[in-house]
Structure 1
Amino acid sequence: MALLPFVDVKPAAQADAAVVWLHGLGDSGDGFAPIVPELGLPKHHKIRFLFPHAPVRPITINGGMQMRGWYDIKTWDLNDRADETGVRESAAAVTALIDKLIEQGIPASRILLAGFSQGGVIALHLLPRLPYQLAGVMALSTYMAVPGKLKEEMTTANKTTAVLVNHGTHDEVVPYSAGQAAFNALKFAGFNVKWSEYRMGHSVCPQQIADISRFIQQQLPAL
């Protein structure tokens, strides 16, 4: 499997930690890369940020238009929105990228996985299925694919991993209730999840960015 291409935002010093941040439908790794300076991290932080580009594929709900997406969306119905085959293929590609970071010397315990919308679906799919423990997971304005298979497929590696689930109360793309359902499914399964909501649509807001910065610094403290 070819490694996913990505935007690479490196710290000034040798990196000892990493954040892998997955974009939403129709976006690219370039979309979220500018958030790094907005996080206001300490000047001498050693966190490398990787913003992978999803493959270009036809998206059914957009008339088959070709765009970057982690999976096809066949219908707006949340019970059948995510193409399971595409979700699993993208999850495998993101896992390969994390494996490469580990191979390069950054341990899984110093890697944080984040995802917005479609990217968050992949992050939430990986959280209970990875064989190693991450530093943390952020699921932003998203939902859970194949929730019915969570119990049979989950491992215990990330049961205690801090998971931040964020959603906008006025989200016009992914219903607020879908974010809550994902949070509740993980909580019921025994994962260490925290819920935060913001008065916004399908986006990010300044208060949320400040909270994300705190979470990253908490989970990836300077060594």
Structure 2
Amino acid sequence: MTILSTNYLPAIKLETGTNVTHTVLWMHGLGADGNDFVPIVKELKLSPEVHVRFIFPHAPARPVTINNGFVMRAWYDICRSDLNSHEDKLGIRDSQKAIDALIEREILNGIASERIILAGFSQGGAMALHVGLRHEKKLAGIIALSCYLPLAEMLSVEAHPANASVPILMMHGTHDSIVPISQARMSRELLLAANYQVKWHEYTMEHSVCINQIEDISTWLNWILQPL
């Protein structure tokens, strides 16, 4: 495991083999950091024929209004529990640029954009959707866990045709009190209405990750991450 920094967002790098052919860029949730999903890699049961670089970036530290202004790692500020009202457009777009830069670094390192997956949980999942649907180069897929589509009203004018057919995996807990499943379902319906390919899973859980979900992520990743 390696720590990446320089002029990019600091991140943790973990590779499943020596000759890396694919990258999964995985964003954490509000108040966590890149370490949060590192343990999931060994649980994914990926094909040994595919060597993957997992990158887990740390979001910047910023005050979060809904948490009384407490400074924590966050991809953007949240003002209200109604997540799609009073959205922090500037924060979202700043994080979009930072994540785009990480994608471009992978491309410069020899990983074609078509072999890069964006993944994230909660706020990180919202950023995976936001960035992936707008990115100007075709991506391999998007994993959106326990999240919603931010700046949804702007998607129709900002979505890039390069990712009009990108496979999207959305997963959510039926008892989620942080990001209500009703909000996630609304995001799913918006994406389906825009003709995106969305695979949807619901689990009897709260704002978390469960074993059955990890198994479903493994199946989906092994479908996307084909040997070259």
Please tell me whether the aligned partners of residues 50 and 225 of structure 2 are also in contact (alpha carbons under 8 angstroms).
Answer: no
Please tell me whether the aligned partners of residues 132 and 157 of structure 1 are also in contact (alpha carbons under 8 angstroms).
Answer: yes
Secondary structure of 1:216's aligned partner: helix
Q: CA RMSD in A?
A: 1.3
Distance in 2 (CA, whole Å) between partners of 1:67 and 1:156 is 35
Q: Deviations over 1:75-108 (max 9, x none)?
A: 1122326311101110110010000000110001
Match of 2:195 in 1: 190
Match of 2:221 in 1: 216
AA paired with 2:10? P
Distance in 2 (CA, whole Å) between partners of 1:96 and 1:28 is 18
Match of 1:21 in 2: 26
Pick aligned residue for 1:203 from 200, 205, 208:
208
Report how many aligned residue pairs link the two structures: 223
Shift of 1:128: 2.0
- Could you list the runs of 5+ residues in structure 1 that have no partner in the other structure? none
In the alignment, structure 1 residue 82 sits paired with structure 2 residue 87:
yes
Distance in 2 (CA, whole Å) between partners of 1:174 and 1:28 is 19
Distance in 2 (CA, whole Å) between partners of 1:131 and 1:3 is 19
In the alignment, structure 1 residue 142 sits paired with structure 2 residue 147:
yes
Match of 2:14 in 1: 9
Identity %: 46
Q: Deviations over 1:33-62 (max 9, x none)?
A: 110001122345301100000001111111
Distance in 1 (CA, whole Å) between partners of 2:203 and 2:87 is 25
1:86-125 alignment to 2 at 5 Å? 86-125=91-130
Give the TM-score normalised by the residue count of structure 1: 0.96
Secondary structure of 2:205's aligned partner: coil
Regions of 4+ moved over 6 Å = none
Q: Which range is displaced more, 80-89 or 185-194?
A: 80-89
AA paired with 1:188? A
Match of 1:33 in 2: 38
Pick aligned residue for 2:53 from 33, 48, 51:
48
Secondary structure of 1:127's aligned partner: helix
In the alignment, structure 1 residue 155 sits paired with structure 2 residue 160:
yes
Secondary structure of 2:71's aligned partner: strand
Match of 2:66 in 1: 61
Secondary structure of 1:186's aligned partner: helix
Distance in 1 (CA, whole Å) between partners of 2:143 and 2:95 is 17
Please tell me whether the aligned partners of residues 129 and 155 of structure 1 are also in contact (alpha carbons under 8 angstroms).
Answer: yes
Secondary structure of 2:94's aligned partner: helix
Secondary structure of 2:84's aligned partner: helix
Shift of 1:186: 1.0
Distance in 1 (CA, whole Å) between partners of 2:84 and 2:103 is 29
Shift of 1:135: 0.6
Q: CA 1:117–1:57 in 2, change beyond 3 Å: closer, same or farther?
A: same
Shift of 1:153: 1.1
